[in-house]
Amino acid sequence: MTASILFLLAGFFYLVAGLGLVRLPDSLARLHAGTKASSLATTLALAAALLHHRDPWSVTLALASILFVFLTAPLASHAIGRTILASRLPANPRAAPNAPKNPHPNPPRPAA
Amino acid sequence: MILLALILILLSMLACLWRLRRPTIAADRVIALDVISFQAMGALVGFSLLDNSPLALEAALAIALVGFLSTLALTRLLSSSPPSESS
């Protein structure tokens, strides 16, 4: 029962991550919503698995996965954030109207 | 209840696929792929809860490894190729 509730919470936070990826206005905000909410949701799902399967191998796997997610998710989101900043485009063009002209313009993809 | 959570994961995966189709800059696709790999981990954990088998947990750990490495590789690819080669 506790495992089911934890897994339902995980599904809710995955939904929060997906909605943030669709609804938020610029890439850094999407990075914020997507990576943090989904790593929390993955941790909740793995905690549900840890409470549901009681054998030592499953507990070891779930703990190792939680540790791996907490080690690597910040590194991956940091790398993506550095890439966004290095593209020298203000993440939201309306946020910095007086910014200097971009030497490497990164035009938005035309609507297909 | 677990099925309801799996349906929520499916809906959020569809949202990420929509963002993968319509990014504003190229890094949006990397973000969407990162989130999709986490959601695949969550779905595999849900399958292991439904089946009472810990086999899918090992697949979830493998997905975590592959997702992290692919995110790092894609960010290296994006930052090593500037949008225009003019300077």
Query: Which of A100-109, B49-58, B61-70 is modeled with the greatest confidence?
Result: B61-70
Mean pLDDT by 10 residues, chain A (112 residues): 92 94 90 93 94 91 94 93 76 58 55 58
Residue A8, chain B, CB below 8 Å: the answer is yes
Q: Do A106 and B42 touch (CB under 8 A)?
A: no
Tell me what pLDDT residue B4 has: 93
Is there a domain that residue B13 lies in?
no
Tally Cβ neighbours within 10 Å of residue A69: 23
| Residue B87 pLDDT level (bands cut at 50, 70, 90) | very low
Per-position DSSP letters for A54-75, written without gaps between them: -SHHHHHHHHHHHHHHHHHHHH
How many domains in chain B?
1
Tell me what pLDDT residue A85 has: 85
Is there a domain that residue B87 lies in?
no
| ipTM entry | 0.87
Is there a domain that residue B41 lies in?
yes
Is there a domain that residue B85 lies in?
no
| Residue B86 pLDDT level (bands cut at 50, 70, 90) | very low
Q: For residue A41, list chain B residues with Cβ-Cβ distance below 8 A.
A: 38, 42
Q: Are A40 and A47 in contact (CB under 8 A)?
A: no
d(CA A84, CA A9): 30
Is there a domain that residue B57 lies in?
yes
Is there a domain that residue B43 lies in?
yes
Query: Torsion angle of alpha carbons A96, A98, A102, A106, nearest 10°?
Result: 40
Residue A55, chain B, CB below 8 Å: the answer is yes
Is there a domain that residue B14 lies in?
no
Is there a domain that residue B40 lies in?
yes
Q: Are B35 and A35 in contact (CB under 8 A)?
A: yes
Whether the per-residue pLDDT at B53 is higher than 60: the answer is yes
Tell me what pLDDT residue A63 has: 94
Exposure b/e, B19-37, CB count within 10 A at least 16 = b = bbeebbbbbbbbbbbbbbb
User: Which structural domain, as residue segments, surrounds residue B35?
Assistant: 26-77
Percentage of residues in chain B having pLDDT higher than 70? 92
Of B5, B48, B65, the CB nearest to A49: B48
